[in-house]
Amino acid sequence: MRKYVSPSLLIIFFILSAAGHYAHWPATLQFIISAVAVIFVAGFLGKATESVAHYAGQRLGGFLNATFGNAAELIIGILLVREGLFDMVKASITGSIIGNLLLVLGLSLFAGGLKHKIQRYNISLAGMNGSLMIVAIIALFVPAIFLQTHVLHEEDRTALSLVVAGILIASYLLWLVFSMITHKDYLADVTEAGKGADNGAAAETDSIALATAGGSHELPPAWSKGKSITYLVLATVMVAFVSEWLVGTLDTFTERFGLSEIFVGAFVVAIVGNAAEHSAAILLAMKNKIGASVEIAVGSSLQIALFVAPVLIFVSHLFGRPMDIVFTVIELAAIGVSVFIAKSITQDGQTNWYEGLLLIAVYAILGVSFYLV
C-alpha cells in the first residue's frame, strides 16, 4: 500500500475503466483496467478514511467507512432485486458478510499482527459486536428452521420476512443511538481511553493507550477536515462505480471458466466489492489502529446483515416482487461459522497475527467448498 496515491494515475485509470465499460471494450481488457483502477481508488479511499478518522476518532471514522463502503452494495442489491435475481442477492449478501468477517478482518489482524505483537481495542465494543452478530444469525436462522419444519401460507411467509426485517432495521437504528449517543465513551477507542474516566474497561487499558500514543508521534494529516470528508465521499462514489464496472466483466469469466453463480456472488463479487474496506482496514491495522479496522470489518458485516439485507426485503415489496428472508442451508452454514469464529477471536479485545490467519483459514475452507459445489 503506497502512502501517496498519484492523483493523475488515479484519474486516468478511472476514466479508462469508464470508457471500457460504456464503449464495450473486450472483457479481458476491461477486467485488467478496472482491476488496476480499483487498486488506485481503494488507495485513495483508504487515505481519505484515515484522514477523516484522525478528526472524527477511530470508531466514527470506521463507521463512516463501513457506511460508504456498503452504499455501493445497497445500490447493486437494489438493481439485482429489481430484476428478480434473488438468489444472486442472497449469495452476495452472504459473501459480503463472510468476506468482511473472515477475509477483511483476517488480513487486517494478520498484517497488523506481523508489525505489532499484540493489538488491543475496547473489550466492551468487542462484546457488543459479538452479541449483534449472534442476533443477525438468529434472525436468518429462525425463519429458515420454522419454514423448513412447517408449511406456511404465502402471506404468512411474507409477513414473517417483513416483521423480522423490521425488527432488524429497528435494532440497527437503535444500535446507532446506543453507540453514537448514549454510550459513546463506553465503546471509545483504546487510544482515547483517558477521556472516559467513569468507564472501568477504559481505565484498565489506560496505560496501553498512553504507551501507544507516546510511541506513534503521528503527523497531522495532509488534508483539512472539510477536504477529508469531501474526498471520502468522492472516493466512495468512485469505488462504487469502478467496482460495478469490474463486476460487469465477471459474467464472461463465469461462463468461460465454468464457475457457479453462488461462488461468483459469494466470493468474487464480495472480494472486489469490498476492496475499499479491505485496503482501509489493513492500512489502519498496520498503523496499530486496530479498533478502526475491526469497526470497518465487523461493522460492515453487521450493517449488511442488520440493515442492507432487511432494507432489500422491503424494497422488493415496493417493486411488487416480494423477496423472503430465507437463505439456503449452505449460506446459513457459511454465515453461522463465520460469526462463531469471528466472535471467538474478537471477544477478548486482543488480536495477533495467528488469529488473523485462523480467519483466513476458515475463509479458504468455505471458498473451496463453494467452488466445488
Within positions 166 to 205, which residues make up the interface with a second copy, using CB under 8 A? 167-168, 170-171, 174-175, 178, 182-183, 186, 198-201
Helix (H) or strand (E) holding 120: strand 119-120
Angle in degrees, 0-180, between the axes of helices 7-22 and 225-248, rounded to the nearest 10: 30
Residue span binding a second copy (CB under 8 A) among the ranges 33-41, 66-74, 239-247, 359-367: 359-367
Residue nearer to a second copy on the CB measure, 123 or 246? 123
Binding of residue 350 to a second copy (CB under 8 A): yes
- Closest to 45 in 3D by CA, of 331, 324, 304, 243: 243
- ∠ CA 30-33-36, nearest 5°, is 145
- Residues 6 or more apart whose CB falls under 8 angstroms from that of 76 comprise 92, 243, 244, 247, 273
Binding of residue 128 to a second copy (CB under 8 A): yes
Rounded distance, CA 246 to CA 31, Å? 6
Interface mask (CB under 8 A) for a second copy, residues 264-293, using x and -?
------------------------------
Rounded distance, CA 335 to CA 254, Å? 23
Residue span binding a second copy (CB under 8 A) among the ranges 226-234, 237-245, 312-320, 334-342: 334-342
Residue nearer to a second copy on the CB measure, 15 or 138? 138
Site for a second copy in 134-163 (CB under 8 A): 134-135, 138-139, 141-143, 145-146, 149-150, 152, 156, 159-160, 163
Residue in this structure with the C-alpha cell 471494450, named with its chain if needed: 25
Binding of residue 67 to a second copy (CB under 8 A): no
Interface mask (CB under 8 A) for a second copy, residues 313-332, using x and -?
---------------xxx--
Rounded distance, CA 73 to CA 88, Å? 12
Residue span binding a second copy (CB under 8 A) among the ranges 47-55, 218-226, 294-302, 365-373: 365-373
Residue 351 DSSP SS3: strand
Residue span binding a second copy (CB under 8 A) among the ranges 18-26, 33-41, 120-128, 281-289: 120-128
- Closest to 303 in 3D by CA, of 169, 174, 178, 144: 169
Query: If binding means CB under 8 A, how many residues of this protein chain bind a second copy?
Result: 71
